[in-house]
Amino acid sequence: MTLGRAAYILMLLSPGIGLIVVFIGAVVYIAVAQSFGYYNLIGESGFSWSFWIEGIDRKSYLRAVRYSLYVGLTSAFLSVALAYPLALWLRKPFPGSMTISAILKAPLLVHGIVAAFLFLNVISYHGILNQMMVWLGIFDEPRRLQNDEHAIGLIFLQVWKNMPFALLLLTGAVQAISDDVLNAAQDLGAGAWQRFLTVIAPLTVSAMQASLIIIFIGALADFTFQTTIGPTNERSLAQYMTFMKDRGRWNDAAVVGVTLMALSLAGSVLLAVVSRLAFRGRRK
Amino acid sequence: MLNRLMSATAALALTLSLAPAQAQTMDWDAVVAAAQEEGEVTWFVWYFEDRFREFTKAFTEEYGIEVRIPDGDHIANIDKMIAEAGRETGDIDVLAYGFDQLPNINPELFIALDGLPADEGRVATVAGIEGGAVAVAYWGNQTGIAYDPAKIADEDLPQTPEDFAAFWTSNPGQFGFNYENGGSGPSFYMSVLRAVSDVDFSESDDSAERIAALQGGIDFFNEHADDYVITASNADSITRLSDGEFTMVAAWEDHLAGLQVNGEVRDEIRFYIPEMGMFGGGNAVSIPANAPNANAALVFVDWLTSPEVQSRFNVEFGTAPMNLAADDSAALVSMEMRERQTAWPMRPFRDAVEAHFIDAVILER
C-alpha cells in the first residue's frame, strides 16, 4: 500500500476515528494527567505520585473497588443468565410472542432514575410491597426494605434494567442457529443442558460477550441506582469519585476515575477471554 | 457677617455630609438604568428553581428585567463558573452557592460588590466565613432535628448525645440521618463528635492527632450502630419521617419548611435545635467577573438581599433572614432556640472528619 493510499484511507476513517481520538482521548488524557497532579483547578499543578500512593491506600477506595466489581460482575452474569432461557423460549414465533418480547424489553425505555424511584415506591416502608405483605399476613408490620446492606434491591434493579438488553442481543443470535444443527445434536443424544453448553452457547458467544461487557461497564460505573436504592454502608466508585470532586479534590477524584476506566477495560477483556475460552473447547 | 459665615459653614457641612450618598444614589440610578438596558439576568441557583422562577417575577415587575433560572446542581454550577472563567463573557450573571464553598473558590473570579447601595443590614459573614467584597448572604439556613410530635413529646426530645443514645436504645430504628447527599446528617454526627470529643471544631487544622482525638465520638456511634438508621439523603430522611417510618431525623429547617409549604410533607412535623447545638449557615450570591449582564446582576443582588425580599423568604421558604432589618417571625424555631446555632467546622478539618467518619463508622456497619 502506498503512502498516499494509506493517507486516503485514514482520511476516510477520520470522521469516525477522529471523534473517538479527540473527544474520548482528550477526556482520558486529562483524567490520567489529573491523577498525576496536572490540571489542578485549585492550587499548584505538577507531576506527583502522591495522589495514587495515598489514594489506593485508603479504606474507602478499596471498599469502593470491591463493591463496584461485585455489582458489575453480578449484574452482568445474572442478566445474561436470565436472558438466555427467555431468548430460547422466544426463538420460534408463537401466538403472543411478539407481545411478550415487547413487554420484556420495556425496561429499556425507562430511564434509570425513574426506575429507581419507582422501585423505591414499591419497596418503601409504606410502599405497595409492604402493604401487600401485611395485608396477606406474611409481615406483622412493615419492614425496612430500602437500601438493604447486601445490595439485593440494587442488583434486582440492575438486572431488571439490563436483562432486556442482553435479551435483545441474544434473541438475534439464537434465532440464527438453524434447526438442523439443534436436531442433529438431539439425534446424537445431547440433552437440553448439553445442547446449550455444546451448541447454543458456543454459537452465540459473540452476543454473550457483547452483553456481558456492556452490562458490566454500565453496572460497574453505576451512580444513579447506588445513591437512590443502594446500601448506605457501601459506596460505588462513581459515588466515591463524586464525593472527592464535590470537595474540590479533583486529583483524588481523577485517581478514582482512572481506576474506573482501567477496571472497565480490564474487566471487559477478562469477560471476553473467559467466555471465549469457556466455550471454545466445547466447539471443537 | 457672622450669620452669613455660619450659614455658609452649615451649608458646606450639609453638602459634604450628603455628597457621598447623593453620589452613590446617582451612581446607583445609572446602574439601574444600565441594568434595564441589559434587560435580563441569569441566576444560577441549584435548588427550588421552579419556585424561584415564580418568586423572581416580582423583580421583573419592579425593574422590567427578566430573570432566567436554569436547572442545575450545586457543585456543577460552581464548576461551570470556574471552567468558563477564561472566557471573556460567561453564561452566569449571579451564582448562588453554599457559604462553606467560598474558601474553595478563587475570589478573583468574582467582581467586587462595592457598587451595591449601602445597606447596614446586609450580611456578608456567615458561620465564621467572610464573604469579603465578593459575596453576600441571601439565604440563612439551620440544621436540627425534625420530629413527629405524635410519637414524641416536646419535653422528651433528646438534647445531648447521652439523650440521643438513650432514645436510640429505647426506640431502635426510629432515628435516621444521612452522611451524603446533603448536610443535615453530617451536621448531626459532627455535632455529636464535637460534644463527645474534646476537639476544637473551629480550627481548620486536619492533623492526624486531631482526627484521632475524635475516637470517643466514633466509639459512641459504633456502640449504638444497630439502633439508628443511615438514610440516603436529606430528602430521603424527611420523606420517611413524614411517611411514618421514623420518629426523628436530622434535617434542614428551610428544606422542611419548603416541603411543608408545598404540601409534600405533613404540616404536623416539627423542628428543633438540640441544646448540644447544631450547625447553621447560609448561601451566598456572587457575580462572576465575566458576567454578561453585570449591572442587572448588581440590581438583582441588591433586590435579593433587601429586607423586604428577605422577609418574604422567611414566610415562603422558612429561611433565617440574611438582612438584619428583615422580619423573621415565620421561622420554624424561635430566636431563643436559634442561639443554639453553631458554626460549621472549618475546612479542611471538616472534610477530614467526614472522610474519617465514613471509614470508621459507615463502612464498619
CATH of the domain at B170: 3.40.190.10
Same-domain check for residues B353 and B288: no
A44 interaction partners in chain B (CB closer than 8 Å): none
Question: Nearest CA to A217 among A167, A168, A268?
Answer: A268
Instruction: Verify that B133 and B173 share a domain, yes or no.
Output: no
- B12 within a domain of the structure (yes/no): no
Separation of alpha carbons A15 and A10, rounded Å: 9
pLDDT score recorded for residue B130: 87
**Which residues on A lie below 8 Å from B75 (Cβ)?**
245-246
Contacts A233 to B, Cβ<8 Å: 230, 362-363, 365
Q: pLDDT band for position B174 (50/70/90)?
A: very high
Q: Are A244 and A31 in contact (CB under 8 A)?
A: no
Q: For the residues of B210-274, what is the DSSP string, one character each?
A: HHHTTHHHHHHHHHTGGGSEEESSHHHHHHHHHTTS-SEEEEEHHHHHHHHHTTSS-TT-EEE--
- CATH match of A55-108+151-283 with 3.20.20.80: no
The answer to whether residues B153 and B294 belong to one domain is no
Q: List chain A residues with CB under 8 Å of B173.
A: 144
In A, minimum Cα distance to B81 occurs at A41
Instruction: Please identify among residues 214-233 of chain B the ones whose CB lies closer than 8 Å to any CB of chain A.
Output: 229-233
CB contact (8 A) between residue B365 and residue A41: no
Question: Which of B347, B353, B356, B362 to mutate to probe the A interface, most A CBs <10 Å?
Answer: B362
pLDDT of residue A280: 67
Q: Give A-chain residues touching B243 at CB under 8 angstroms.
A: 124-126
Strand segments, DSSP code E, in B287-318 are none
Q: Residue B135's closest CA among B316, B364, B304?
A: B304
Tell which B residues from 51 to 80 touch A, by Cβ distance under 8 Å.
75
Together in a domain, B122 and B200: no
In a domain, B16, yes or no: no
Strand pairing class (B248-252; B341-343): unpaired
Is B11 a member of any domain?
Answer: no
- Partner-chain contact B106 A234, CB within 8 Å: no
Which residue is it, cell 420518629?
A: B247
Q: Is there a single domain that holds both residue B313 and residue B214? A: no
Torsion angles phi and psi, residue B337, rounded to 5: -70, -30
- Which residue type is seen at B62? E
Cβ-based interface (< 8 Å): residues of A facing B: 41-42, 58-60, 63, 124-126, 142, 144, 146-147, 149, 227-229, 232-235, 239, 243, 245-249
Out of A60, A125, A233, closest to residue B245 by CB: A125
Model confidence pLDDT, tens digit, residues B218-232: 999 999 999 999 999
- Would you state the pLDDT for residue B16? 41
Size of interface A-B (CB pairs under 8 A): 58
Would you state the pLDDT for residue B100?
Answer: 82
In a domain, B20, yes or no: no
Tell me which of B328 and A168 has the higher pLDDT: A168
Residues B117 and B44 in one domain: yes
Residue A246: closest C-alpha in chain B:
B75
What confidence score (pLDDT) does residue B213 get? 96
Give the pLDDT band of residue B25 (cuts 50, 70, 90): low
Is B24 a domain residue? Answer: no
* In-domain check, residue B244: yes
Task: Note whether B362 contacts A: Cβ–Cβ < 8 A.
Answer: yes
- Predicted pLDDT at B11: 46
Alpha-carbon separation of residue B212 from A238, B193, B208, B209, B303 (angstroms): 28, 12, 6, 5, 46
Number of domains in chain B: 2
In chain A, residues with a C-beta closer than 8 Å to the C-beta of B233 are 227
> Looking at the partner chain, which of B181, B245, B363 has a beta carbon nearest the beta carbon of A233?
B363
Q: Looking at the complex, report in whole angstroms how far the Cα of residue A134 sits from the nearest Cα belonging to chain B.
A: 15
**Residue of chain B with shortest Cα separation from A225:** B232
Q: Which domain holds residue B154?
A: 142-279+337-362
Evaluate if residue B4 carries a pLDDT over 60: no
Higher-scoring residue by pLDDT: A109, B8 = A109
pTM of the predicted model as reported, rounded to 2 decimal places: 0.80
Residues B66 and B146 in one domain: no
Mean pLDDT, range B140-144, rounded to an integer: 93
Predicted confidence (pLDDT) at residue B1 exceeds the cutoff of 60: no
Comparing alpha-carbon positions, the chain A residue that sits nearest to B101 is A247
Residue indicated by cell numbers 458646606: B12
Report yes or no for ipTM above 0.90: no
Flag whether B13 is in a domain. Answer: no
Distance CA A123, CA B245 (A): 13
Chain B nearest-CA distance from A116, in A, is: 13
Residues B222 and B343 in one domain: yes
CB B93 within 8 A of CB B42: yes
Task: Say whether pLDDT at B6 is over 60.
Answer: no
pLDDT at B266 exceeding the cut of 80: yes
| Any A CB within 8 A of B237 CB | no
List of residues 6+ apart from B123 with CB closer than 8 A: B136, B137, B140, B282, B305, B322, B323, B324
Task: Examine the pLDDT at B3 and tell me if it is beyond 70.
Answer: no
Per cent of chain B over pLDDT 90 is: 70
SS3 A28: helix
Answer whether A60 sits within 8 Å of B365, measured CB to CB: no
AA identity, residue B68: R
User: Are A233 and B230 within 8 A, CB to CB?
Assistant: yes
Residues B151 and B274 in one domain: yes
Residue B14 lies in a domain: no
Residue A73 confidence (pLDDT): 97
Between positions 255 and 274 of B, the ones with CB within 8 A of A are none
**Average pLDDT estimate for B103-127:** 90
* Least confident stretch, A237-241, B30-34, B283-287, B330-334: B330-334
**Residue extents of the structural domains in chain A:** 55-108+151-283
Mean pLDDT by 10 residues, chain A (284 residues): 88 88 90 92 83 95 97 97 95 92 93 94 93 95 92 96 96 93 91 91 94 97 95 96 88 96 96 88 52
Q: How much is the average pLDDT of B228-245?
A: 95
Local confidence band at B19 (pLDDT 50, 70, 90 cut-offs): very low
